Amino acid sequence: MIFPDRTSFTPLSIIPLPSSHMLHPRSCNPAMDLIVLLSLPSPSTSTSGSLWKGKGKEIGSKTQISLWRTGGSKVWQVGVEGDVQGLAWNEDGLILSLLSSSSNGNFVHHLSVHTGEIIWSVPVPSDLIDENRKGRWVEMKWKVSQNGWAKVKNGSALDIIDSLPTVTPVDPPKPPNQLPFMRQAALTQTPPKPTIHPSLSTFPALLPSTIPLQPDILHIGSSEYSLLTGTFASPSDSEPSQEMMELSKISDKIVHLLDIILRGIENAEIHFREGDKQTMICREDLETCAKQQAMSIQDVHSDLFRFLMTGRSGVAVNEWMGNRLTGRTITKWDQTLDTSFRTIQNLIIESISPALERLVLLLEEMRGWSRTPKYQTQLQLNENDISKAIDLVLGFAKLVEGMRRDAEHELKAASEFMKWLKYASQDPSSDDLPLPTHDLKSVWSFMSNGFVRSSFHDHFPYLLVRPPKDTLPSDHTTYPRKTTRSLDEVLKETSQELQIDHPRNVGVVDTPSVQANESLGSEDTSMDMSISGINEVQDDDGDLTPTGILSDDEEENEGISRFSSPDTVGNKYVSSEEEEEEVKRVMEKEPWVWANTLIRDLEGLVKSAVGRAEGDGAERIERDDELELNLRDKRLVDGGLWEVVVLQQDDMQRLWLLSIGNANDSLTISKFATFSISEARCLSIRFFDDEEIVLLMESENGRYLTTLRYPDISDEMVELPAMREWRLVDVVREYRDAFEDIPSIPIGRSRYLGPTPQSDDILERDSEIALNGRKGRRLGCILYEDGKEVQVWDLDVDEDDEEEEEGEEMDGVEE
C-alpha cells in the first residue's frame, strides 16, 4: 500500500508522561482543549498479598484519572475506586462520566472538570459490563435532549414548596477528633462539600448543579441503559416525556428532603449521646460510692430520692454530693444537657418536621397524577401505594413531634434538677443559704427518667450496628385514622363541652330513630371524650414527665403509677451484680426504622412509576464477537447510521463500510463498500466528523495518520436489498467472498509520523487515537503502545497548505 507523500495536519505538542497511561477514544473534551488520561492499575494493589493493610482496612485497586491541557500541563489528578470500563464527556464539557467496576459493584461517577471531585455516584446493574469483553471499552455517550424542562405549574407541589421558607439544611456530623492536642492539618484546608447520605445512594435523583442542567441522557452499554442527566434511570426511549421529567424533578426534591431528615436524625442522636454520656459519668460516680458502702444501685437511687424529700441521706449520697459532684461538674453537666436537648428541638422544628410536611405535598401531587389520564399513560403510579406512603410520612411526623416534646420535657426537668443540685450542695450552716427555687415534681421526673433511663433510649438504643437497617413490620399501622363522624355527633359533643342545651330540644320531634341515633352517638362521644382526656394529659405543659415513659401495658399489668417514687419502680434498675441484659427495642419508637422504611417505600414508588425495577437493566442487544474484537466505530450523520470495521482476512486486512439511511424516511436504503489494506496494518480507526474517518496505519517505513472521506464514495457503494434490516455482521458474512478485485483505501489526507517505536517495555495493547471533530476544537491525540507519550495534532489545518500560503506571500514580496 502506497501512502501519499504529504504533510497534512499540524503538530501542536507532545505530552511526556511519568508512567504508562491509557487513552480512551472519547478522552478529548468537546468544548475545551483538554484530554483525560487513565493510569494503569498498580501491580501492588492487584496482588492478593497486599489487599490488607492496618486493622481491617482493605485497600482495593484504584485508577488514577488525570486531566491535561493540550499544551502539556496537568490540571488535576484524582483516584477512582476500581477499574474504569467506560468514559464520556457531556456536551458542554463540564462533566466527565466514568463507569467503574470494583468488588463493591458497578458505578457511574460524575466528575467536575474544574476540580476533579466526584459530584455524584450512581450504582448501575452488573449486566452492563460483559465479563467476556476482553479489554473492550463499554460504550458510553451523552445525547442532547430536544425538549427542555417544563415550567413549574402554578399551584403545584414544587410551586408551593418554592413559596415556603427554605428548610434549614443539616450538615453531616464532624468526625471525632482522636488526637485533641495535636494540630489538625485539615483545619488549614478547605472543608469538603457535603455529600448525599449513603442511604440515598440508590435513590433516583438528578445530577446536582448550581446551573440548571438540560435534560440530556447518558446511554451506557449495548443494552442502551439510559440515565436522565446521568443519574435518573429512565426507559431506553430516545426522548423522555414531559411527565417523566416532572417525576424526575419530584424525585430529586424527595432526595433533598430525605437527606435533610437523615442528617437531622444523625445529628440528633449524636447530641443525645453527648448529653447521656455526661449523665452516665455522674450516675456511675454515685453508683461507685454505693459499691464502696455495700449498697445496691436501687437502694442508692432511693436514698437520693429520700434526700430530695427530707434533706437526709446515707453515706453514699453524702459522699457523692460532697466530694464527687463539684460545682464545676454540675455546671458542665447542666450545659451539656441544655445544649443537647435544645439542639434536638431545633433540628426537629427547623429541619425534620418541615421536610416531612413538604414530603406530604409531593406525595399528594403524585396521588393526583395517579387519577389523571395524561399521567396514567406515561407513568405507572399506584394510588394505594401512594396513600400508604402518605400515612407513613404522617406517622413519622407524629413520632418526631413526640420526640420534640420529650426533649422539651427532659430539658425542663434537667434544668430543675441542676437547680436542686446547686441548692443541695450548699453548706447548710452558711448564713447566706439561698432559697430553694427548684420544682419538686420536675426534679423527681429527671430522677426517675433522665437520670436512670432517658426516654430517648427507646428512640436511639445502644446497638452494635448504628444506624440500624431495620424496617417497620408490614402489618404495622403507620398512621391510624379516625372514622368520619356525622355533623349531629359533632354538634352533640360541642354542646356538651360548652354545657348548653342540645339543639334537639328546640323544635325537634323525639322519634325512636332519633333516640337510637342518640344512643349510638353517646357511646361514640364517651369514647372520644376518653381519648381526648388522655390527649389532654399528654399535652399538659405542666406535666414534665416525658411522654411514653410508661406504656398502658405496664400500668395495667404492674400497677405502676406515673407518680410513684423511684424506689417502687423495680424494673428500671439493673443491679451491678447481674449480667448486662439484651437491649430491648421498640421498633415503632425508633426514627431510624421509620426513615429506612420511608426510603424503601418511596424509592420503590419512584422506580415502579418509571417502569424499571431495582437491578433491572434494559434488554441486552445481541452482539457478534466476530466484529466486537476488531477495530470498529459508528456515527450518526443526518439521521443515518454509518459503521466501519477493519477485519483480518487471510494475510491482509479489509475495511468494511456500511451506510443505513434515515429510519424516518419512507424508503430506507442501505449500502456498503469494502477496501483492502495490503502491505500495511491498521492500528486504530475512528470517525472524525461528518466527512472523514481517521486511521492510524503502520507499514515497513513507519507509521502514518491518514483520513478517508466517506461521503465522496457514497455513490460508488453497493446498494443492499431492501427486504431485510441489515447489520454490519450480516454484510460481512454474505459478501466476504463476493468480490475478486478489492480496491485499496482512497486516502484523503496523510502524515508520516515516524518509524515504528521499538521498546522492550511495550505492553500487550494497541495504539489508540482520540478525536474531537467539533468546529473550533478539531484535535487528534495519539498514544503509542508504551503509553508514556501523547502526541497532539491539529487536524483542521494542514501544514503543507501553510507552506504553500507562505510561499505565495514570499513570491509576492519578491515581485
Residue 604 has pLDDT above 90, yes or no: yes
What percent of the chain is predicted at pLDDT more than 90?
Answer: 36
Q: What would the grid cell of residue 272 be? A: 443525645
Q: How far is CA 464 from CA 333, 458, 709, in A?
A: 26, 15, 67
Q: What are residue 452's phi and psi, to 5 degrees?
A: -90, -55
Highest-confidence segment of 62-66, 423-427, 668-672: 62-66
Per-residue pLDDT, averaged over 372-391, amounts to 93
- Give the mean model confidence (pLDDT) for residues 161-182: 76
List 233's β-bridge partners, or say none: 227
> Looking at residues 7-30, what average pLDDT do you find?
90
Identity of residue 500? I
Nearest to 772 by CA among 154, 91, 195: 91
Provide the pLDDT for residue 176.
Answer: 62
Residues 6+ apart with CB under 8 A from 487: none
Cα 109 from Cα 230, distance rounded (Å): 9
The torsion defined by the Cα of 692, 695, 38 and 86, in degrees rounded to 10, comes to 60
Cell of 145: 435532549
Residue 606's pLDDT band (boundaries 50, 70, 90)?
very high
The whole-number pLDDT of residue 210 equals: 79
Residue 337: name the closest of 262, 419, 400 by CA: 419
Cell 421498633, residue located: 587
Does the structure show a pLDDT above 60 at 694? yes
Q: What is the pTM of this model?
A: 0.80
The pLDDT of residue 803 is above 90 = no
Give the per-residue pLDDT at 324.
Answer: 83
Q: What is the model's pLDDT at position 239? A: 79
Residue range 52-78: mean pLDDT, rounded: 75
Confidence (pLDDT) at 260: 95
Give 57 or 674, the one with higher predicted confidence. 674
Residue 91 burial (10 A CB sphere; 0-12, 13-18, 19+): middle
Q: Sorting pLDDT into bands at 50, 70 and 90, what band is 278?
A: very high
pLDDT for 366 equals: 95
Q: What is the pLDDT of residue 41?
A: 62
- What pLDDT does residue 365 have? 95
HSE of 16, CA atoms in CB hemisphere, 13 A: 1
The pLDDT assigned to 764 comes to 56
Q: What are the grid coordinates assigned to 377, written together?
A: 399513560
Tell me the three cell numbers of residue 680: 500495511
Dist. CA 533–CA 527, nearest whole Å = 10
CB crowding 235-257: b at 16 or more within 10 Å, else e: beeeebbebbbbbbbbbbbbbbb
Q: Between residues 370 and 667, which one has the greater pLDDT? A: 370
Percent of residues, the chain, with pLDDT higher than 70: 76
Q: What DSSP character marks residue 49? A: G
The mean pLDDT of 170-197, rounded to a whole number, is 61
Model confidence at 708, in pLDDT bands (50, 70, 90)? very high
Residue 540 pLDDT greater than 50, yes or no: no
pLDDT band at 131 (very low <50, low <70, confident <90, very high): low
pLDDT of residue 55: 40
Give me 350's grid cell.
427547623
Domain extent listing, the chain: 268-351+400-426+438-506+514-568, 622-814
Q: What is the mean pLDDT of residues 304-333?
A: 87
| Mean pLDDT, residues 621-637 taken together | 67
